[in-house]
Amino acid sequence: MEKILSYPLSIIYYLLFGLWLLVFHPIQWVCLNVFGYNAHRLSVAYLNWFLVRTAHFLGTTYHIKGMENVPENQPLIIVANHQSLHDITTIIWFLRKTHPKFISKIELGKGIPSVSYNLKHGGSALIDRKDPKQALPEIKKVAELINNNNYAVVIFPEGTRSKTGTPKPFAVNGLKMLYKFAPDAYFLPVTINNSWKITKFGTFPLGLGTSLELIVHKPLKISDHSFEDILENTETIIKKYIKN
């Protein structure tokens, strides 16, 4: 029954999702080129407000815990497990005050209205996972950016999304670069639950009635920990709260 009901609702969802991307692409351009960084940042945040609210057509609800753990006016390395693209819209909107940037695969830097523009011009790192000589300098650049401006960078160290919610092993290299080149930052562990259920049937139709949960854990200051220690603590706390 859920799958049958999902077909018309998924069509409505995708039509609205695409509409917001098309509408906000020129808005982003005007904000950045006429009014500057802060206007562009806000345009991206409100784009994601529309995307988050559009998911309500699928019966998706959002439950955000631990916002009191987000340090104010500090550089942050937001480390999260990865289950679907809805992780990204959730983080951008609910953690918008941290100025989140992303470490994203280079293929997303072109061809997608709004998304590609923000990744290219909003301070994110576009990396080729198969080319460390290209990827590592890009990660270094975004680490220095967040360290100098008290912004946040979001990294999904599993690399690829978990289609069942079961976490994959964390890759180390990107986290190590961020640790090294953002020495004033905090690691901010984030656990995401149930967003994989939105795509449990694949990209179409979409799952209905998902209760998406985002848990922000206590931050870990880089200067107080060795890399090995902060990596172990971060991975342990994120995975401890994942609900299978």
Q: What's the pLDDT at 235? A: 93
Q: What's the pLDDT at 18? A: 96
Amino acid letter, 91: I
Q: What's the pLDDT at 143? A: 95
The β-bridge relationship of strands 186-193 and 76-80 is: parallel
What string of pLDDT tens digits covers the 244 residues of the chain? 788 889 999 999 999 999 999 999 999 999 999 999 999 999 999 999 999 999 999 999 999 999 999 999 999 999 999 999 999 999 999 999 999 999 988 888 888 999 999 999 998 989 887 777 788 889 999 999 999 999 999 999 987 777 777 888 888 888 999 999 999 999 999 999 999 999 999 889 999 999 999 999 999 999 999 999 999 999 999 999 998 7
Q: Which two tokens stand for residue 86?
A: 């809805």
Amino acid letter, 196: W
> Would you tell me how many other CB atoms lie within 10 Å of the CB of residue 243?
10
Query: Residue ranges of the domains in the chain?
Result: 2-240
Of 90, 62, 242, 105, nearest to 168 by C-alpha is 242
Q: Specify which residues 127 forms β-bridges with.
A: 105
Residue 82 and residue 162 in contact, taking contact as beta carbons nearer than 8 Å: yes
Q: What's the pLDDT at 125? A: 87
2-240 adopts what CATH topology? Glycerol-3-phosphate (1)-acyltransferase (3.40.1130)
Q: What's the pLDDT at 82? A: 92
Q: What's the pLDDT at 109? A: 84
Residue 53 and residue 46 in contact, taking contact as beta carbons nearer than 8 Å: no
Q: What's the pLDDT at 180? A: 94
Distance CA 27, CA 151 (A): 22
Residue 20 and residue 50 in contact, taking contact as beta carbons nearer than 8 Å: yes
